[in-house]
Amino acid sequence: MELKQSIEHFLDTIRFEKKFSNHTAIAYQNDLEQFFLFLKLNYQTDDLSGISHLQIRSWMAELLEKGVNSRSVARKISALKSFYKHALRESWITVSPMAKIQSPRISKRLPVFIEDKPINKLMEEVEFGDDFESKQEKLIIGLFYATGIRLSELIQLKETDLNLYKSQIKVLGKRKKERIVPITPEIRLMIEDFLDLKRAENLVSETLFCSLKSKTLNPRKVYEIVKRNLSLVSTQDKRSPHVLRHTYATHLLNEGADLNAIKELLGHANLSATQVYTHNSIERLKEVYKKHPRA
């Protein structure tokens, strides 16, 4: 099979069989095309079976020399490993050059989150207004913080995914995996109020949130809403929907929630992804301990 066809076959597999998001598939495609362009320019080859681990290491070295950070290089290597694993399974090759490749070490970054007081101030003291867009903005902020859902999950949240009687929502997460997330009485009332206003404005959309033209909200629009409103109560550099997701998880853990329960609420596939929040809680405990008279 030709290289272009093999890449397309791999991308179709991760999209339609493994249910990877389109965003991830595009990132993998860019990484693979970048790698094979490097091989063509430097080694005049695109033969899968003739590629060695030394060539892959030289690509890694070039990326690092150009200033690409180790986290990005590690992601590119992950894309290559997935591709070669697929190539082995399809019998396009008999030996994978990735067996001798190790990803560069990356330092773990603690999740950025916002403390309780700024969040409470935003939800309780900041005036949002009574028009449709203002009510929608407040509900977007509130839902992010009260459920920890991702930006993509919020945008595609449908009215039919709401179960206000049971105070819960159905969230479609990564790889089309569904999960049930509870909502607080306050958020339930906000949703009911918002839906009444949406009907009064004669807005008809399958998704819960929409524009004044009944169109699904653009991700950039939601990002800007979050950034602008968090700027009112926080001076930290990162002010994004994912920061609210981190805030949700960190606050739950600080209040004594079980780590496995948080894992399910966030829709993490592995507990290791959730354990990163324990570092923030440990740092919080250290700060509390410093207040001890003999500390």
Max CA distance (Å), the chain: 71
User: Class assignment of domain 116-289?
Assistant: mainly alpha
High-pLDDT (> 90) share of the chain, %: 69
**Does the predicted model carry a pTM greater than 0.75?**
no
pLDDT of residue 19: 85
Q: Are 198 and 132 in contact (CB under 8 A)?
A: yes
Contact yes or no for 152/160 (Cβ under 8 A) = no
The CATH 1.10.150.130 domain(s) of the chain lie at 3-100
Q: Which structure tokens are listed for 3?
A: 């290289």
The predicted structure's pLDDT at residue 27:
94
Residues of the chain with CATH 1.10.443.10: 116-289
Mean pLDDT of the chain: 90
Q: 3-100: what fold?
A: DNA polymerase; domain 1 (1.10.150)
Distances (CA, A) of 92 to 32, 33, 81, 89, 247: 16, 18, 14, 8, 45
pLDDT tens per residue, range 216-236: 999 999 999 999 999 999 888
Active-site residue numbers? 150, 174, 242, 245, 268, 277
Q: Are 148 and 265 in contact (CB under 8 A)?
A: yes
Which pLDDT score is estimated for 112? 85
Looking at residue 179, its pLDDT comes to 95
Residues of the chain with pLDDT under 70: 1, 107-108, 279-295
Q: Using CA atoms, how far apart are residues 295 and 293, in angstroms rounded to an integer?
A: 6
H/E stretch holding 182: strand 178-182
Residues present in the chain in total: 295
